[in-house]
C-alpha cells in the first residue's frame, strides 16, 4: 500500500506536456484579446466620425427642408470658397425649422453654414449661425453653435431642375449692377435641391466622405392664367317684374 502510493503522481514528461498545452492556450487567448482591442481602436474612431456626420447631415437637411427666402438681398446665397486647399463652402439662407425660445419669436430664423479652422486639433469645425430676428444685415448677428468637428471639407452644390451649380444667388442682389446684368438661372430664388458633401478625417484615420441630396420645399406660385369668363345671364323677358310689387 505504501509502495503503491509512493509511485502515484505525474511524471516529468506529463508536467512538461501540460505546461506546454497551457502556454499554447494562454497564447491563443492573448492573441484573440489583443486582436479584439486592436479592432476596437480601429472601429471606434470611424464610428465616431460616422455618427458626427449623421448628426450634422440630419441637422442641415432639416434646416434646408424648411428653407425660405431671406428678407433682404439674395434670397438664398451659396458661395464656393476654399481655406488653403480645403473646400469650405459658405451658405446663407432663412428657414422655418426653428422652435421659438423667447417671447416675440416665430418659426423663422436667418442661418449661415460655414467652416473654421479648429485651434485644438487638425481639421475644421462646422458651425451654424442662427438669428431668429429680422436683422438689418441678414448675413451677420445671432448666435453660432458647433455642428461637427474633425471636418476636412465641405462642398455644397445647387440644382435648379436642369443643372448643378457650384454657387447660388447674387451677393449684390438689389444693387444697380445686379439689375443691369443678365440674370443667370442660379442668381435668384431658391434652388430645387442642395447636394451636401462632408469629409471627415484625422492624423490616424483616413479621410471619409459622406454625401446626401436635400430637396427644398416647392414654392407655391400664384395662378397667372386668366379667369374663365362668367356665363352670360339671360336677358329679362318683356313684362317681367324688376322690383317690388305695384
pLDDT tens-digit profile of 185-208?
777 889 999 999 998 876 666 778
Asked if the model's pLDDT at residue 89 lies above 90, the reply is yes
pLDDT at 93: 93
- Break the chain into its structural domains and give their ranges: 45-215
* pLDDT tops 50 at residue 231: no
The residue among 139 and 158 whose pLDDT is bigger is 158
Residue 37, pLDDT above cutoff 50:
yes
How far is 74 from 112, CA to CA, in rounded Å? 13
CA-wise closest residue to 84 among 52, 108, 119, 116: 116
Phi/psi for 38 (5° steps) reads -65, -40
Mean pLDDT in the chain? 77
| Residues 162 and 206 sit within 8 Å (Cβ to Cβ) | no
Distance CA 148, CA 201 (A): 12
In the block, residue with C-alpha cell 471627415: 200
Query: Which of 99, 98, 126 lies closest to 114 in space, CA to CA?
Result: 126
State yes or no: pLDDT of 12 exceeds 70. yes
The number of residues in the chain equals 246
Whether pTM > 0.75 for this model: the answer is: no
* Cα atoms in the 13 Å half-sphere on the side-chain side of 124: 23
Amino acid at each position: 500500500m505504501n509502495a503503491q502510493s509512493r509511485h502515484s503522481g505525474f511524471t516529468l514528461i506529463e508536467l512538461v506536456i501540460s505546461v506546454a498545452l497551457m502556454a499554447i492556450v494562454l497564447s491563443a487567448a492573448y492573441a484573440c484579446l489583443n486582436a479584439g482591442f486592436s479592432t476596437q481602436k480601429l472601429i471606434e474612431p470611424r464610428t465616431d466620425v460616422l455618427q458626427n456626420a449623421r448628426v450634422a447631415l440630419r441637422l442641415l437637411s432639416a434646416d434646408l427642408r424648411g428653407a425660405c427666402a431671406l428678407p433682404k438681398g439674395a434670397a438664398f446665397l451659396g458661395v464656393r470658397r476654399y481655406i488653403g486647399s480645403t473646400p469650405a463652402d459658405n451658405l446663407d439662407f432663412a428657414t422655418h425649422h426653428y422652435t421659438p425660445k423667447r417671447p416675440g419669436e416665430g418659426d423663422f430664423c436667418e442661418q449661415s453654414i460655414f467652416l473654421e479652422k479648429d485651434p485644438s486639433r487638425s481639421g475644421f469645425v462646422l458651425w451654424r449661425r442662427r438669428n431668429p430676428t429680422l436683422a438689418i444685415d441678414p448675413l451677420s448677428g445671432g448666435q453660432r453653435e458647433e455642428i461637427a468637428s474633425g471636418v476636412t471639407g465641405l462642398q455644397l452644390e445647387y440644382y435648379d431642375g436642369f443643372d448643378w451649380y457650384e454657387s447660388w444667388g447674387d451677393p449684390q442682389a438689389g444693387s444697380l449692377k445686379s439689375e443691369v446684368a443678365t440674370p443667370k438661372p442660379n442668381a435668384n430664388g431658391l434652388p430645387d435641391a442642395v447636394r451636401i458633401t462632408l469629409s471627415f478625417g484625422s492624423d490616424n484615420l483616413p479621410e471619409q466622405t459622406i454625401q446626401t441630396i436635400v430637396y427644398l420645399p416647392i414654392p407655391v406660385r400664384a395662378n397667372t392664367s386668366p379667369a374663365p369668363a362668367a356665363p352670360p345671364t339671360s336677358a329679362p323677358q318683356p313684362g317681367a317684374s324688376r322690383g317690388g310689387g305695384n
